[in-house]
Amino acid sequence: MTRLLHISDLHFGAVNDRLPEALLALARALKPDAVIVSGDLTQRARPGQFRAAAAFLDRFGLPLLTVPGNHDIPLYNLPVRILSPLGRYRALVSDDTEPVLTLPGAVLAGVNTANPMVWKAGRLRAASARRLKMGFAAAAPGLLRIAVMHHAPVPAADGGPPDIADPAGVLGALVAARTDIVLSGHTHMPHFAAAETAAGILFLQVGTAISTRLKTRWNDVSLVTAGGDRVTVQPYLTRGANRFEPGPVQQFRRRDGSWELADDPGDLAAQ
């Protein structure tokens, strides 16, 4: 089983100062195989914000996969936004905006959906779709294929529409790449209560890990434990306190190529 700590939307520059240490403490307790960051490391893509984000992520001391979000592109500095939208991200966080991380049991591929032209909504470039397909095709058979992207082509937890251009086309590209699971952020709403399944792909979304930009009452992250046709999502919520506490677990299983929610955990254990 692969154990991933999925965090997102850190928004350095708008961080709740009491939460970074709490999140590090959670990671020390959980000892995941890797930390997965699905975008929006900063609030305004300023160099100091990227430096703070990079220093924080370094402190996990774990394998790391990050992708940029729309907030990692400058909003107001138009020359930088157009000419070098992710220059600061590349210089201060990672020069690879679409990294691949291979772990025992899974291969993870980052997809850069940040779009400097529209800024907030995402897009999947044809080159990114090709790279994803090639990356997954090159991986050993039997590994779970997990795509990590800031914007996902599925509705938000509140039913809001997907905030990415041509969601049907993006879904088709994910299917063509034989994606099993998508980890995403952007909405600042955890999706463990209503994760969609579509076209054989399990979509898992977390809210904002440590920022003050809440759209729910709590900050949240998830521990995703995945292996074969089974996925367990264990959310951790701040619940207003300065620590992350476990929330309700959801378990998914894949039957005949489609993921479904296992309502009764005993049902899974019995098989």
The verdict on 9 binding Fe ion (CB under 5 A) reads yes
The verdict on 40 binding Fe ion (CB under 5 A) reads yes
Residue 216: CB minimum distance to Fe ion, A: 13
Residue 150: CB minimum distance to Fe ion, A: 8
Residue 203: CB minimum distance to Fe ion, A: 17
User: According to DSSP H, which parts of the chain are helical?
Assistant: 19-30, 47-58, 78-83, 87-92, 126-138, 167-176, 265-269
Q: Interaction with Fe ion in 102-131: which residues (CB under 5 A)?
A: none
Total of residues contacting Fe ion (CB under 5 A): 2
Cα radius of gyration (the chain): 17
What is residue 189's three-state secondary structure? coil
The verdict on 220 binding Fe ion (CB under 5 A) reads no
Contact call for residues 49 and 43 (beta carbons, < 8 A)? yes
Tokens of 98: 């679409």
- Which residue stretch of 32-40, 92-100, 121-129, 216-224 sits at the interface with Fe ion (rule: CB under 5 A)? 32-40
The verdict on 163 binding Fe ion (CB under 5 A) reads no
Tokens of 56: 């924080």
CB closer to Fe ion, 98 vs 163:
163
Tokens of 270: 């019995």
CB closer to Fe ion, 56 vs 259:
56
CB closer to Fe ion, 33 vs 72:
72
Residue 16: CB minimum distance to Fe ion, A: 14
Task: Give the list of residues 6+ apart from residue 268 with CB closer than 8 angstroms, or none.
Answer: 230, 251, 253, 262
Beta strand pairing status for 220-227 and 230-237?
antiparallel
Instruction: Please provide residue 269's backbone torsions phi and psi, each rounded to the nearest 5 degrees.
Output: -65, -30
- Which residue stretch of 39-47, 53-61, 159-167, 195-203 sits at the interface with Fe ion (rule: CB under 5 A)? 39-47
CB closer to Fe ion, 36 vs 129:
36
| Max Cα distance, the chain (Å) | 59
The verdict on 72 binding Fe ion (CB under 5 A) reads no
- Tell me how far apart the alpha carbons of residues 236 and 119 are, in angstroms, rounded to a whole number: 29
Characterize 208-219 residue by residue with b for buried, 16 or more Cβ atoms within 10 angstroms of its Cβ, and e for exposed: bbbbebeeeebb
Residue 169: CB minimum distance to Fe ion, A: 23
DSSP code for 50: H
Residue 148: CB minimum distance to Fe ion, A: 15
CB closer to Fe ion, 135 vs 162:
162
CB closer to Fe ion, 40 vs 98:
40
Residue 185: CB minimum distance to Fe ion, A: 6
Question: Which stretches of the chain bind Fe ion, using CB under 5 A?
Answer: 9, 40
